[in-house]
Amino acid sequence: MNTQTTTARATGAWYLGLALTGALGFLMVRPKLYVEGDPAATLDNLTTQQGLARLGIVLEMGIVVTQALAAIWFYKLYRSVRPVAGVAVAAFGLVNAVAIMASATFLATAAAIANDRSLVAGGDPAAAVGLLHQLSTHAWGIGALFFGLWLIPMGWAAVTTRRFPVALGWILIAGGVGYLFSALVDYALASPPSLLVEGLAFPASIGEFWMIGYLLIRGIRPEPTPTDPAGTRPSTAAATTTATVS
């Protein structure tokens, strides 16, 4: 197994870790604890389910770690074929990690208040927990801009290098743009239709899981080699045919 394939599979492993920690933390644990519009119920959940609250914090910390490592490994993978895309994916991915780290900090503070309400001396613990929940939610919401941005150079590198399926590259680009518009619509409209917000982000999920699977199973295609004595690369049509077959 060559070095690039090893790097690609390590990148896929970190990306899979990001997907798993995100699904478990944001989609499964969080809804069991935080009740939208009801800080008192949220405080009660955090008080009576402290183990689950700690698990939620640890999972968000897992998102931070796997996101940061996936970003660095994408740079390692792309730096020799598309260095600008590699830097962009790494930079945007690291901003993602910072956004989620902020969210985890807010959740940890909310859990601490639930465990020791004297931390809000003379105040309303439920209101404090509700505010921290909103801060965490908006860290995710604003951070969604960079969830979209990191997919665009990832897809662009796939399209222009032909080291990944071209269709995958275009889906990643479309998904990244969709994610950006999803975040903007969510904040631009007073009551945005959830179907519209979720629908704009849906192509991103398809592209991300396809990329994870491709990295883990196939890795990365070998660099095109010269096909004639003059040392020319295969024609665009030939490259397209190869991309379709693979």
Number of residues assigned to the chain? 246
Give the pLDDT score at 138: 94
220 vs 243: which has the higher pLDDT: 220
First-to-last C-alpha distance (Å) of the chain: 18
51-72 residue pLDDT tens: 999 999 999 999 999 999 999 9
Three-class SS state of 35: coil
Residue 241 scores a pLDDT above 90:
no
Mean pLDDT over the full length of the chain: 89
Confidence of residue 227 (pLDDT cuts 50, 70, 90): low
137-190 residue pLDDT tens: 999 999 999 999 999 999 999 999 989 999 999 999 999 999 999 999 999 988
Locate tokens 């590198």: which residue?
157
110: its two tokens: 């909310």
Output b/e per residue, 47-71; b: 16+ Cβ within 10 A. Answer: bebeebbebbbebbbbbbbbbbbbb
Distance CA(157)–CA(86), nearest Å, equals: 8
User: Is residue 105 within 8 Å of residue 72, measured between CB atoms?
Assistant: no
Confidence of residue 225 (pLDDT cuts 50, 70, 90): low
Written as one string, the DSSP assignment of 66-82 is: HHHHHHHHHHHHHTTT-
- % of the chain residues with pLDDT over 90: 76
87: its two tokens: 């830097």
Residue 107 scores a pLDDT above 50:
yes
